[in-house]
Amino acid sequence: MSGPLSSLTAGLHRLQARRAEARTRQRMRELTEGRVFLGLAHAPEPRDFGDFAAARAALDGTLVLGGIRRPLRGLTPWELELPSEPLTRRLHGFGWLDDMAGLSGKAARARAQAWALGWIDRFGDGTGPGWAPACAGQRLRRLLVHLPFLEKGLDAEPLARLQTTLPQHAAFLAGTWAEESDDLARLKALSGLAFGAVCLTGLDDALPAARDALRRFAQDVVSDKGGIACRRPSALLRLFRELLHLRALFAAAAQPPLPELEAAIARIAPSLRALRLGDGTLPRFHGGGPGPEGALDRALADAGSRARPRARPAMGFVRLHGGRTQVTVDCARPPGHEPRAHASTLGFEMSSGRQRIVVNVGPALPHLADWARAPRTTAAHNTLALDKTSSSRFAPPRAAGRPELDALQARPSMVSLAQAQDITGMWIQARHDGYLEDYGLLHERRLFVGALGEQVHGEDVLLSPDQKARRRFLARIKGAAQLGVGLSVHFHLHPDVEAELMRSTDSVRLHLPNGEVWLFRHQGGLMDVETGAYLDADLPEPRAARQIVVRGRATSAAAEISWSLVRQVAAPRPAPGRPR
């Protein structure tokens, strides 16, 4: 049955895609009729650094995108079939144009011109996968920013094709930007429209509506505490950078500033500072990555905000730190109606200086069947998993990798948090009820980070809060009371961390690339070092890694496993002027 059913489903998806493409072409004709290029009212300056290595690879005949490498059969990449929709959207969003313009030179310019004109000839009428409003918005912004780079040396006919597509994109976005349901995608589409309205002569009539929409977006989407609904740190950074692009655009074009946009930037900056790890990147929660190297620090510098991280949680994440050690803990409910949300409640990531030590497995990769769901489970995070289940309930397996169906079906209804700090260090005590309905148990986690950053201690406790919950737990283990319910506490290690299992002392010594050595110990349960994985959207495949797992069984309505990470050997002092 699975073969014919799979073929039928694939055929249905192809039919839906063809119908959607036909509708997009029709809308493109209706929205862009009579639109012509009248010149530039403002020439925006480039603000993003490209990937020079990716540009050089493209010149050598290889497309490098999101960790994959594909040989180019011709001068353009538009014949390639990519393994996932996100990668296809990245290609059609013209991110590669940042790379080519950053590399500069005649060869890079010629290749960028060929790719841009090839796209216009093949997809410029509304055909293909690149007409989602967010994708079109990113493409228009980059075309406008890098227009001087692309125009140089073009003959009149290809130059006209390039220029004509600009007002057509802007007109299309004016009619479609609000159709994006995802907050970040809607901002990308709206940003493209704003760039078109400011930069293109004759389109200033679209600017008032775009500015009003930006005001509402900044007020409604960015919370009072500087977070966004998806709770994905990397998405918050992308949104922050997009707002900075818009602020710079309005300032350079002598447009009045938007107070709501300024206020949103000011709210986000302290949250990002609180989430920043020692290497200048972000923790990888709810399907996000660490962010491009250096992007967070550049964005914070551009924002001009000197506000320090707040003591309260940043977008639901608590920052514990001491010395050069930082622990970031997920202390809020997973986001609802969010297809990339993870069952990561009370999970944490840990770094020492620039070295990551304990990390989540990473984002789900829909184009790899084995990794479309597994990275979202509780066991893929650094927390306690009960009976091989997750603290949030997923949709049926057939929904895995299909964003429209794969939001969490049930989440913890309660996540509580208490924080304290004194001269010895920082504590939190947090608990959630994700296992209460099925097992009659709460998970409580207590974490402590010493003031000098030399030690991290944790306690993971399962408990029944009342008699009703206790009866539920006893009913769950009825007939197997001596076995009880299995539990496991996971500590996923960064691939660069070497784990040395020491059976004689029932401990694990962790060797970091910078020479630091940390010792892991535990009380309660049985410990082992097992295989793990490290996923990243910019890697072609999962990296091999290790994980420490402490397993036990809850045979009564209370169970506890305690553990510690203590620095045994500090990193050697770097030579003057070299980063630690």
Instruction: Output the pLDDT for position 405.
Output: 60
* Helix, coil or strand: residue 265: helix
* DSSP-derived 3-state class of residue 6: helix
Q: Identify the helix (H) or strand (E) that includes residue 5.
A: helix 2-32
Q: List helix spans (H) across 33-145.
A: 52-59, 85-92, 95-103, 106-123, 133-145
The answer to whether 250 touches 258, Cβ cutoff 8 Å, is yes
CB atoms near residue 124 (< 10 Å): 20
Torsion sign across C-alpha atoms 257, 258, 260, 266: negative
Helix (H, G, I), strand (E, B) or coil at 119: helix
| Dihedral sign for Cα atoms in the order 26, 32, 36, 41 | negative
Please name which of 90, 116, 112 lies closest in space to residue 238, comparing C-alpha atoms. Answer: 90
DSSP H or E segment with residue 157: helix 156-176
In tens digits, the chain (580 residues) has pLDDT values of 445 545 555 565 566 667 777 788 788 787 777 788 999 999 999 988 788 999 999 999 999 987 788 999 887 999 998 888 888 999 999 999 999 999 999 999 999 999 999 999 999 999 989 999 999 999 999 999 999 999 999 999 999 999 999 999 999 999 999 999 899 999 999 999 999 999 999 998 999 999 999 999 999 999 999 999 999 999 999 999 999 999 999 999 999 999 999 999 999 999 999 999 999 999 999 999 998 888 999 999 999 987 777 778 999 999 999 999 999 999 999 998 888 899 999 999 999 999 999 999 999 887 777 888 899 999 999 999 999 999 999 887 655 556 656 788 899 999 999 999 999 999 999 999 999 999 999 999 999 999 999 999 999 999 999 999 999 999 999 888 788 999 999 999 999 999 999 999 999 999 999 999 999 999 999 999 999 999 988 887 899 999 999 999 999 888 999 999 999 999 887 666 555 5
Q: Name the phi and psi angles at 430, rounded to 5.
A: -135, 155
Alpha-carbon dihedral 101, 105, 111, 114, rounded to 10 degrees: 80
Which tokens belong to 472? 């539920």
The CA–CA distances, whole Å, from 226 to 176, 233, 242, 263, 573 equal 27, 11, 15, 10, 36
CATH domain 348-569 topology: Beta-galactosidase; Chain A, domain 5 (2.70.98)
- Tell me how far apart the alpha carbons of residues 236 and 275 are, in angstroms, rounded to a whole number: 10
In the chain, where the domains are located: 17-203, 222-315, 348-569
Look up the pTM and report it: 0.92
Paired tokens of 82: 């990519």
Q: Check if the beta carbon of residue 262 is closer than 8 Å to that of residue 240.
A: no
**82 vs 96: CA distance, rounded Å:** 15
Q: How far apart are CA 431 and CA 231, in angstroms?
A: 19
Q: Strand 442-450 and strand 455-463: pairing?
A: antiparallel
CA-wise closest residue to 241 among 518, 22, 480, 47:
47
